[in-house]
Amino acid sequence: MYKQSKKFPLPSAWILANSCAGCHGTNGAEFDTEIPPLAGTNKEAFIEMMEAYKSEKIVKSAVMTMVAKQLNDKEIRVMADYFSKQKAVQWSAKNWSKNDK
């Protein structure tokens, strides 16, 4: 994702995790029937999954393959640690549009 150097340090875990929010929810905490939450994911399982997407051992998601290929190993480890500390939250569609006009 970002080339690390003295000039450009590793982005924070929060910044890296935000790149996942569009699909997996804020802090990876969104439960969905199609897209799993990242919050609470075991660190080793997250790393293994991202490495599998990156190497195309898992090809069921073109988006995940593209995302994983942009991350370096350190970024993946930082994200794994961050997501392992988050709590997944079940979202309920009940009355979700009640206030929409």
Phi-psi region of 98 (alpha: psi -120 to 50; beta: other; left: phi over 0): alpha
User: Rounded distance, CA 11 to CA 2, Å?
Assistant: 8
- Look at residue 2 and tell me if it is in a domain: no
Give the structural domain span for 50: 13-84
Half-sphere exposure of 49 (CA within 13 A, CB side): 14
Biggest CA–CA distance in the chain, Å, is: 50
Work out whether the CA dihedral 23, 26, 28, 33 comes out positive or negative.
negative
* 30 three-state secondary structure: strand
The CATH number linked to 42 is: 1.10.760.10
Instruction: List the chain pLDDT tens, one digit each, 101 residues.
Output: 545 556 667 888 999 998 898 888 888 877 666 788 899 999 999 999 999 999 999 878 889 999 999 999 999 999 999 999 998 776 655 555 555 44
Q: Is 0.85 topped by the overall pTM?
A: no
- Look at residue 93 and tell me if it is in a domain: no
- Look at residue 18 and tell me if it is in a domain: yes
Q: What is the tally of structural domains in the chain?
A: 1
